[in-house]
């Protein structure tokens, strides 16, 4: 692995598993822990690249499945790759397409070699294998790319165990298929909610020496307590010197709980998706501007917030925009929600560097209900 992907671990909190670092990529440094807004179709919905920079985004995710189908990874490659195509010069991460094939495509057939599926756009037939996924991701040209994997139902032990063999074989094939040296290929730990399978998966993938590791198969139906448990199992067995990425998680309390358990990278459609449903993140949850109680409310979405939406507009105005189905509603709510998460992560990172991670987390999490029963946010269908 070239030096351009060095992971500088600046601090590990003594009392918790929280880490602060910098992951260096060809398109710049990513201060960690980091939340990556999702640009499914090569655009973070309702934001321009300059807005993302202004909000402090240092990493965005885009989806291989969607871009393969439209506009096509060959077209993106012809335009110089995702960075110039979408006008974003910072770091990008692409997923492998595996998760979307299983969650979005109309029908699919999995075998040990790959997955055959039908496009959700036009029903056309396609096939992904580990090699195909890597070739597509090399065409897209992100800084961080993902091994092809299967994301099984997390509590079905028999299926999870069988699927794990396949995921491991695909991980090795993904690594072997890689030809570009300017992309960091991360392995994905699976194993559902089962400690032995998770530890087996971590050990197998660690032996392959990936430059980073994702924890997959969470936020897909298990409880929050189960998610925390899996992260606690993973923290001591994943190599400390490599970044860890918890896929598809973005609820504020889940970010904090993930960081406390050693996670460095997160992504989720949550801030952009709930914006389009009229909701704004606030400490302890969210408010929905469709609610009539905000119709004459002169307050900003969140009093202490420094984002453009909160600095200039009232809840009454944003509610009017929501009711009138105006594009500006999406723009302002997305701006606020992305700011909320990036600001949270920035403050949490500073607290880790200051040795105050536990206090910061306790104060923040006091706004939220205990995680015993709640299921993590599932937010996989951004673009449908």
Could you give the residue numbers annotated as active site? 95, 267
Q: Does 266 bind a second copy (CB under 8 A)?
A: no
Q: Does 43 bind a second copy (CB under 8 A)?
A: yes
Size of the site for a second copy (CB under 8 A): 38
DSSP secondary structure letters along 55-85: HT---EEE-HHHHHHTT-HHHHHHTTSHHHH
User: Which structure tokens are listed for 371?
Assistant: 């995680």
Tokens 């994905």 label which residue? Answer: 188
Beta carbon nearer to a second copy, 78 or 156 = 78
Q: Does 314 bind a second copy (CB under 8 A)?
A: yes
Length of the chain: 384
Enumerate residues 6+ apart whose C-beta is below 8 A from 187: 147, 171, 174, 175, 205, 208, 210, 212, 213, 214
CB of 326: closest distance to a second copy in angstroms?
A: 5
Beta carbon nearer to a second copy, 27 or 198 = 27
CA 232, 234, 237, 243 torsion: positive or negative?
negative
Beta carbon nearer to a second copy, 23 or 317 = 317
d(CA 243, CA 263): 8
Candidate segments 13-21, 248-256, 312-320, 362-370, binder of a second copy by CB under 8 A: 312-320
Q: From the list 42, 142, 227, 351, which residue makes contact with a second copy (rule: CB under 8 A)?
A: 42
Our measurement of the distance from residue 123's CA atom to the centroid of its chain's CA atoms, rounded to an integer in Å, reads 27
The crossing angle, in degrees rounded to 10, of helices 252-260 and 357-365 is: 150
Q: Does 321 bind a second copy (CB under 8 A)?
A: yes
Q: From the list 135, 169, 237, 328, which residue makes contact with a second copy (rule: CB under 8 A)?
A: 328
Q: From the list 196, 326, 354, 359, which residue makes contact with a second copy (rule: CB under 8 A)?
A: 326
Closest CA to 87 of 52, 131, 135, 129: 52
In degrees rounded to 5, what are phi and psi of residue 175?
Answer: -60, -45
Candidate segments 22-30, 188-196, 313-321, 362-370, binder of a second copy by CB under 8 A: 313-321
Q: Does 260 bind a second copy (CB under 8 A)?
A: no
The site for a second copy (CB under 8 A) is made up of 41-43, 45-50, 70-71, 75, 78-79, 85-87, 295-296, 298, 308, 312-314, 316-317, 319-321, 323-324, 326-328, 330-332, 383
């Amino acid at each position: 692995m070239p030096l351009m992907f060095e992971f500088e671990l600046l601090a590990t909190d003594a009392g918790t598993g929280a880490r602060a670092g910098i992951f260096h990529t060809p398109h710049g440094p990513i201060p960690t822990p980091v939340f990556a807004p999702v640009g499914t179709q090569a655009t973070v919905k309702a934001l321009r690249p300059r807005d993302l920079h202004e909000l402090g985004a240092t990493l965005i995710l885009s989806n291989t499945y969607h871009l393969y189908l439209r506009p096509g990874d060959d077209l993106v490659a012809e335009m110089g790759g995702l960075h110039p195509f979408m006008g974003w010069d910072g770091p990008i991460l692409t997923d492998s397409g595996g998760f979307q094939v299983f969650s979005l495509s109309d029908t699919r057939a999995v075998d040990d070699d790959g997955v055959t599926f039908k496009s959700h756009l036009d029903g056309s037939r396609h096939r992904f294998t580990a090699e195909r996924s890597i070739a597509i991701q090399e065409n897209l040209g992100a800084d961080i790319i993902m091994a092809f994997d299967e994301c099984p139902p997390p509590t079905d032990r028999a299926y999870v165990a069988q699927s794990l063999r396949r995921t491991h074989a695909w991980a090795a094939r993904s690594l072997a298929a890689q030809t570009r040296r300017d992309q960091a290929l991360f392995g994905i730990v699976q194993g559902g909610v089962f400690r032995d399978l998770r530890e087996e998966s971590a050990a197998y993938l660690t032996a392959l020496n990936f430059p980073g590791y994702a924890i997959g198969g969470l936020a897909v139906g298990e409880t929050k307590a189960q998610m925390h448990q899996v992260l606690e199992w993973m923290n001591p067995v994943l190599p400390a010197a490599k970044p860890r990425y918890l896929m598809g998680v973005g609820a504020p309390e889940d970010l904090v709980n993930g960081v406390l358990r050693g996670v460095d990278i997160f992504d989720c459609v949550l801030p952009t998706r709930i914006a389009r449903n009229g909701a704004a993140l606030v400490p302890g949850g969210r408010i929905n501007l469709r609610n009539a109680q905000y119709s004459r409310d002169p307050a900003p979405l969140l009093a202490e917030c420094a984002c453009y939406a909160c600095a200039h507009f009232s809840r009454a105005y944003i509610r009017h925009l929501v009711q009138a189905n105006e594009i500006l509603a999406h723009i302002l709510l997305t701006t606020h929600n992305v700011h909320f998460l990036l600001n949270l992560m920035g403050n949490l990172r500073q607290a880790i560097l200051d040795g105050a991670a536990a206090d910061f987390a306790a104060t923040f999490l006091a706004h939220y209900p205990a995680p015993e029963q709640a299921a993590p946010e599932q937010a996989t269908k951004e673009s449908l």
